[in-house]
Structure 1
Amino acid sequence: MKFSPQKAVYEVTASEVLAPGIEIGIENGKISCLGTSLPRDDRTKIIDAKGARVTPGGVDSHVHFAQDNSPTGDDFTSGSRSAIAGGTTTVIAFASQLKTETSVIPCITEYHTRAKDKSYCDYSFHLILTNPTPAIMQTEMPLLIKQGITSVKLYMTYEPLKLGDSQLLAVLMAARALGFTTMVHAENSDIISLITDRLEAAGHSSPYFHAISRPQIAENEATYRIISLAELTDTPILIVHMSSEIAMRHVRKAQTRMLPIHAETCPQYLFLLSERLKGTEKDAFEGAKCVCSPPLRHDPKDLKAMWRGIANGTFTIFSSDHAPSTYDHAGGKKLGLKDGIMRYKNIPNGVPGVETRLPLLFSHAGREKDSKLSLQRFVQLTSSDPAKLYGLEGTKGNIAPGYDADLVIWYPETEVGEGVVIGQKMLHHGVDYTPYEGMKVKNWPRYTLLRGKVVWDRDGEGIVGDVTAGKFLKRGKGKIVIGKTGGEANGMLEGERDFWY
């Protein structure tokens, strides 16, 4: 079957806004051609975009589905359902190794079981690496790369997950040799632990103090440190969910020296402030809904700084970091409320956002005076750059012949009216709140297409895709999007690294 979305005013790629009226021909789930007056017959199905913008399906490279540490959160079915309703057609979730495990194969096998035939959208996995033994690095990581799992996530904080500097260095050197992409959660664990203990001793344990316990300097120091370790080992990295201006400056400075340092931020750091962690008169614990790490920052200037990073290219990726826990549940956010006593350190971290990610950012993209980024930049951040960085280029993230026909058709501006007000009742995730309740966005996906098939029809039945439609994506090695390898570290002699590397 062949689909030809017609009359679209603009199809938007990472590099250009195509001429008005370009049609997209689709055959066998792939984009076959772009052009005008494409051939059609009685078997051709036509979707009229009615003058709307068409963008590639979103690639959300940072979601937490079916996580053991979030038993009340989304599984692959509810999470992927929410994804396609918000225009995301590919997600990369996390398979987490326990520190007690001496192999990563069992956790990968388990996550395949959790996702297979249970996802509305295509998916892949990152490995959360917590016990990087030499055997894993030398034997199992090459095997995982052959299986299409080509990225790992490392933590510099959280006791069950964090690695010391020597472990970080060992993984970075293995990544350089094997070619897998390395993601890092950068916060100084000792700073957070010290402040947390002192806050608790002083009786400051309500959700608001989560933000106090993780000051920007904890993110700043860890960001500078992981950049230094990456420079020492000549290894590309991605620093995830950044929230601090000074930390962002460390990244920008490294990028100006052509170091391959990539960065990611998320909607919560563009739209929400720490005041959201305070309770209300009706519910003193309600701020728990917005507990995430790094925490929400205090000043509107912090939000503006992240927007600058979005616009000027410091950030390579805009992800949701969808990490949901049900609020009104004893095993969810209410773990931080026992016998009437609030303890923020027991509140599961994370906020839902896989469905709202694209509409929130799309509202600020375009040529209007109040736009904060171009439409092309929107596509780079939400589709094409994550596809490149995580080994999906040529398959996902672009509107071009040969790519999967993953498309988002928005509403024409003439039909949008005053926009869409985000509310929990309209969303499709498996949790009981959204931190963006009451926010207005300018547009929403009218249709989402996964490999040429309509899976979301907002004007019709809503979710029209099949829960078994999502495929596991065997990824190649990711590409460096920013900077390059092969340079000498600051202050080192030419070839000095060769003596010990």
Structure 2
Amino acid sequence: MSAEFDLVVRNAKVATASDTFMSDIGVAGGQIVQLGVKLSKGAREIDAEGRITTPGGIDAHCHFDQPIPPPARMADDFESGTRSAACGGTTTVIPFAAQQKGGSLRAAVDDYHRRANGRASIDYGFHLIVTDPTPEVVANELPALIAQGYSSFKIYMTYDDLKLDDGQILRLLALARSHGAMAMLHAENTECIAWLTENLLEAGLTAPRYHATSRPMLVEREATHRAISLAELVDVPVLIVHVSGREAVEQIQWARSRGLTVLSETCPQYLFLTADDLGIDDGYKGAKCVCSPPPRDAANQQVIWGALADGTFTVFSSDHAPFSFDDDLGKKPGGGEVAFPYIPNGIPGLETRLPLLYSEGVLTGRISLNRFVELTATNPAKTYGLHPRKGTIAIGSDADIVVWDEHRTPLTNSMLHHAVDYTPYEGWALDAWPAYTIARGDVVWDGRQFLGTPGRGWFLPRGLPTIVPRKPPGNGGK
């Protein structure tokens, strides 16, 4: 007698964004086809033994093999990046196809497909990065791409090769409103950063730690407020990415209190790193933690934890931007130590995102298990047009499943599967790691080794966003 299911996960303590229940999970054809107790036999069986079982994570903000100005180059391509994601419990990623100034947006998408084809071991979509909103891009290219499943795009308010002015931002927000797309904004005031940087360099203050000095919270606060104001003028939802601390959080809560639809994202670096990780002296090791916005201080970490718990944040992403440290294409461009403005921005975090949040969020009681699922799977799926296919454990959804193993493990870079030569979380004691990662019904990580294959991941055209943010309690919830 043939098995009724391709796979059965038995005795699982299933957690979704809204419920926690005991169940077997029956999988056939890459989808969840039955939930219940004492399901029929599967061709393969995994006994979860009452362990917590969650939907596969969706990392909706990560960077792989993204074209950037020389001499820097990202360490992870779609093969190593998706391998690392799977081993950390992530089953879907959405990296960025970045338009080059003077080039077409369609050309950027075509190039990114070439970089991804045959390499991804888990499913993926693309956000767009719009750096040159010409009349052709705004009138034709971007609307056509949104209709074809590239339903979100990122706008930068800083970086010389990426930033847009307010007029350009307004035109793109108007387009997002008319076509139902999700506009994401990197909110930092570029002129303030340039002025501070110039003054620091003139004073000979060039070490990595001065990166944080050049980007104080007020530059994020001002840009966040301005982004919200532009969105209010157009009357369109927006998502503020990688929010780092109290002042930007307060702007988002203020906007919510006025009834504006402002979604927000934060990342592990704002929970687990501080400005001291960029260096307390003029040594270069702090280059490992140079990212924008920079990590703040311990008091701001607590603000971010509180905003994760109270509903201020919509999604929790890694902002994985992989540059190796001892590499003349990475944090030492050209082969040597450089002044802080020339250190490639970004840190690795794709594989460690879920274990860190589960260990220090769920297991310490800072956030609930259901909130963990909401932040890392369900809300990303809803925000970026993948729900209910992704982001939940339900009949008809893709069989993207993580079975968790709770035990203490010191984190070392040698245990990770990315192509970066360090992790900023080296030595952190983790209390959880995936025992199994199942992607569309295939076991791609069994707690010991990666079992996926390059090319098994599918490109996912996405629908339009379906999420409205919760208002936080207290003053922010009026």
Q: Classify the TM-score, shorter chain.
A: over 0.9
**1:139-193 deviation line (CA, Å, top 9, x unaligned):** 1122112321111000000010000000000000011001111000000001100
Q: Is residue 2:8 matched to residue 1:4?
A: yes
Q: Is residue 2:402 matched to residue 1:404?
A: no
Q: 1:39 Cα shift?
A: 2.0
CA 1:51/1:258 → structure 2, altered by over 3 Å: closer, same or farther? same
Q: Is residue 2:59 matched to residue 1:60?
A: yes
Q: Is residue 2:454 matched to residue 1:454?
A: no
Q: Is residue 2:424 matched to residue 1:420?
A: no
Q: 1:72 Cα shift?
A: 3.9
Distance in 2 (alpha carbons) for counterparts of 1:294 and 1:127: 20
2:90 aligned partner: 88
1:350 aligned partner: 346
Show the 5 A alignment for 1:242-257: 242-257=243-258
2:127 aligned partner: 126
Q: Is residue 2:450 matched to residue 1:463?
A: yes
The 3-state SS of whatever aligns with 1:198 is helix
- Is the 1:56–1:408 Cα contact (8 Å) retained in structure 2? yes
The 3-state SS of whatever aligns with 2:360 is coil
Equivalent residue letter for 1:179:
G
Show the 5 A alignment for 1:19-418: 20=22, 22-40=23-41, 44-69=43-68, 70-101=72-103, 103-278=104-279, 284-297=283-296, 299-335=297-333, 338=336, 342-366=338-362, 370-411=364-405, 413=406, 416=407
**1:294-325 deviation line (CA, Å, top 9, x unaligned):** 0111x210100110110000000000000010
TM-score normalized by the length of structure 2: 0.95
- Is the 2:311–2:470 Cα contact (8 Å) retained in structure 1? no
Equivalent residue letter for 2:367:
L
CA RMSD of aligned residues (A): 1.5
Distance in 1 (alpha carbons) for counterparts of 2:455 and 2:101: 32
Q: 1:342 Cα shift?
A: 3.8
Equivalent residue letter for 2:465:
G
Equivalent residue letter for 1:241:
H
Distance in 2 (alpha carbons) for counterparts of 1:309 and 1:422: 26
Distance in 2 (alpha carbons) for counterparts of 1:353 and 1:97: 24
Q: 1:337 Cα shift?
A: 7.0
- Is the 1:336–1:343 Cα contact (8 Å) retained in structure 2? no
- Is the 2:66–2:74 Cα contact (8 Å) retained in structure 1? no
- Is the 2:379–2:467 Cα contact (8 Å) retained in structure 1? no
Quick check: 44-53 or 329-338, which moved more? Answer: 329-338
CA 1:483/1:434 → structure 2, altered by over 3 Å: closer, same or farther? closer
CA 1:57/1:483 → structure 2, altered by over 3 Å: closer, same or farther? closer
Count, aligned residues: 464
Q: 1:256 Cα shift?
A: 2.4
Distance in 2 (alpha carbons) for counterparts of 1:167 and 1:467: 39
Q: Is residue 2:433 matched to residue 1:430?
A: no
Which of 7, 13, 17 lines up with 1:14 in the alignment? 17
- Is the 2:327–2:335 Cα contact (8 Å) retained in structure 1? no
Q: 1:93 Cα shift?
A: 0.4
Distance in 1 (alpha carbons) for counterparts of 2:74 and 2:359: 30
**1:349-373 deviation line (CA, Å, top 9, x unaligned):** 000000000000011344x6x3100
Quick check: 270-279 or 219-228, which moved more? Answer: 270-279
The 3-state SS of whatever aligns with 1:26 is strand
CA 1:302/1:150 → structure 2, altered by over 3 Å: closer, same or farther? same
Distance in 1 (alpha carbons) for counterparts of 2:414 and 2:313: 32
Q: 1:344 Cα shift?
A: 0.6
Distance in 2 (alpha carbons) for counterparts of 1:429 and 1:384: 25
**1:472-493 deviation line (CA, Å, top 9, x unaligned):** 0010111232279xxxxxxxxx
Distance in 2 (alpha carbons) for counterparts of 1:195 and 1:365: 35
- Is the 1:277–1:287 Cα contact (8 Å) retained in structure 2? yes
Q: Which runs of 4+ in 1 moved over 3 A?
A: none
2:475 aligned partner: none
Distance in 2 (alpha carbons) for counterparts of 1:267 and 1:292: 12
- Is the 1:336–1:345 Cα contact (8 Å) retained in structure 2? no
Distance in 2 (alpha carbons) for counterparts of 1:72 and 1:90: 20
The 3-state SS of whatever aligns with 2:27 is strand
Distance in 2 (alpha carbons) for counterparts of 1:480 and 1:165: 26
Distance in 1 (alpha carbons) for counterparts of 2:114 and 2:321: 20
Identity among equivalent pairs (%): 49
TM-score normalized by the length of structure 1: 0.90
Q: Which runs of 5+ in 2 are unaligned?
A: 472-478
1:479 aligned partner: 466
1:498 aligned partner: none
Distance in 2 (alpha carbons) for counterparts of 1:184 and 1:324: 21
Distance in 2 (alpha carbons) for counterparts of 1:336 and 1:437: 26
Distance in 2 (alpha carbons) for counterparts of 1:166 and 1:378: 37
Q: 1:278 Cα shift?
A: 1.1
2:476 aligned partner: none
Q: Which runs of 5+ in 1 are unaligned?
A: 485-501
Distance in 2 (alpha carbons) for counterparts of 1:321 and 1:378: 17
Distance in 2 (alpha carbons) for counterparts of 1:72 and 1:220: 29
1:496 aligned partner: none
**1:98-126 deviation line (CA, Å, top 9, x unaligned):** 1112x211110000010011011111111
CA 1:404/1:440 → structure 2, altered by over 3 Å: closer, same or farther? same
1:442 aligned partner: 431
Distance in 2 (alpha carbons) for counterparts of 1:188 and 1:246: 14
Distance in 1 (alpha carbons) for counterparts of 2:244 and 2:335: 27
- Is the 1:235–1:260 Cα contact (8 Å) retained in structure 2? yes
- Is the 2:360–2:366 Cα contact (8 Å) retained in structure 1? yes
Q: 1:394 Cα shift?
A: 1.4
CA 1:28/1:107 → structure 2, altered by over 3 Å: closer, same or farther? same
- Is the 1:5–1:24 Cα contact (8 Å) retained in structure 2? yes
